[in-house]
Amino acid sequence: MTLDVARIRGDFPALAEGVAYFDGPGGTQVPRQVAEAVARTMTSGISNRGSVTPAERRADDVVTGARLAVADLLGCDADGVVFARSMTQATYDVSRALAKGWGVGDEVVVTRLDHDANVRPWVQAAASAGASVRWVGFDRETAELTVADVREQLSARTRLVAVTGASNVLGTRPDLPAIARAVHDAGALLYVDGVHLTPHAPVDVRAIGADFYACSPYKFFGPHHGVVVADPDLLERLDNDKLLPSTDAVPERFELGTLAYELLAGTTAAIDYLADLASDATDRRARILESMQAVEEHEDRLFERLLQGLRGIDGVTVHGAPERRTPTVFFSVAGRDGRAVHEHLAAAGVNAPASSFYAIEASRWLGLGDAGAVRAGLAPYTDADDVERLLAGVAALAG
């Protein structure tokens, strides 16, 4: 299966502006099919969920449909799909619920590679429970984080390990199944931040071995909200704060207040769009796996040219060289701060911002401080012309 990139680009109205978007790691552009699904839901008769009126049933169908779509995307149980305002909120909610069972002497493990949304909630939850935090570093030259690195920080008192599925700045993809086995052997739970992994590769939560897996639909063509998935039996065991009259049923008891139905409809549309990128299989899960394999191959081909091009420009430093990665590069230009590079590229119609992008621990670990560096990430709609425009812009500035 291969991507018809020209056809895909025609589905994204934003691309008509002529901008080359390399800021997908912060949020992709949206195809018209997703925008239309959001608009239809907002303009249809809709009420709080129920089974009496058409409006009630429509709302219920939207929620059920979104859970099924996420289950097909991630290979999980639809009854374990929890929606939240953002991945950050979802992680805070889970951390607070789990921390009720922690105490003095218990340990939580976090990594320097992660986005802060998979660091600070755990650090703060541990502090509230009197538990301690153990940190996993990564190789500063390669940006690799190995199972051995994680295993060094595990003990009989480890309660949870939080690790990224892919670094949102360096692209590093740790060996999640191996890490999961080590974590479970220690008797702990594994929380995976899949925000940056999900848009770039087929995902199977069960095969990964994640107890919790979080992602953000706006990173794969959808609306702005968050998702965390887990086995329903595990969710049943969590004691979360909620309003008295709200349901105790899983997963609804973790979804505080009325869900944004239009966003859920947009998420279903985004997942359907992904599924149809390069496959005509009958089963949606099968289409997703085939299409995401095609996405990975397309992005890897373009990314090889991007990496080679950047490394060939005098004065450009590419940070990290992980063997297995998403199509994401973090780089600096000698004599130019990140904002100057960002502004220069923007003037040429290339969006590649500079920051630590909330991966504050990774940026500091690399010696880049809180300012970070320039980040360029590919998406299924990226084409070869986009890559050449980026390289030309960087070369002109470096020269």
Q: Distance (Å, rounded) from C-alpha 168 to C-alpha 329?
A: 9
CATH number of the CATH domain containing 324:
3.90.1150.10
Q: Mind listing the pLDDT tens digit for each residue in 192-238?
A: 999 999 999 999 999 999 999 999 999 999 999 999 999 999 999 99
Q: Distance (Å, rounded) from C-alpha 339 to C-alpha 337?
A: 6
How sure is the predictor about 399, in pLDDT bands with cuts at 50, 70 and 90? confident
Same domain, yes or no: 62 and 19:
no
Same domain, yes or no: 297 and 367:
yes
Same domain, yes or no: 300 and 265:
no
DSSP 347: H
Q: Can you give the residue range of the structural domain that contains 373?
A: 5-30+288-398
Residue with the two structure tokens 């050449």: 388
Q: Mind listing the pLDDT tens digit for each residue in 255-283?
A: 999 999 999 999 999 999 999 999 999 99
Q: Distance (Å, rounded) from C-alpha 315 to C-alpha 332?
A: 8
pTM: 0.98
User: Could you count the other beta carbons within 10 Å of the beta carbon of residue 256?
Assistant: 16
Question: What are the backbone angles phi and psi of residue 395, rounded to the nearest 5°?
Answer: -60, -40
Same domain, yes or no: 16 and 86:
no
Domain-ending residue, one of 274, 297, 320:
274
Q: Mind listing the pLDDT tens digit for each residue in 141-153?
A: 999 999 999 999 9
Domain-ending residue, one of 274, 305, 325:
274
SS3 of 42, please?
Answer: helix
Same domain, yes or no: 116 and 208:
yes
Q: Mind listing the pLDDT tens digit for each residue in 358-391?
A: 999 999 999 999 999 999 999 999 999 999 999 9
Same domain, yes or no: 260 and 292:
no
Closest CA to 374 of 331, 337, 345, 335: 331
Domain count for the chain, please give it.
2
* Length of the chain (residues): 399
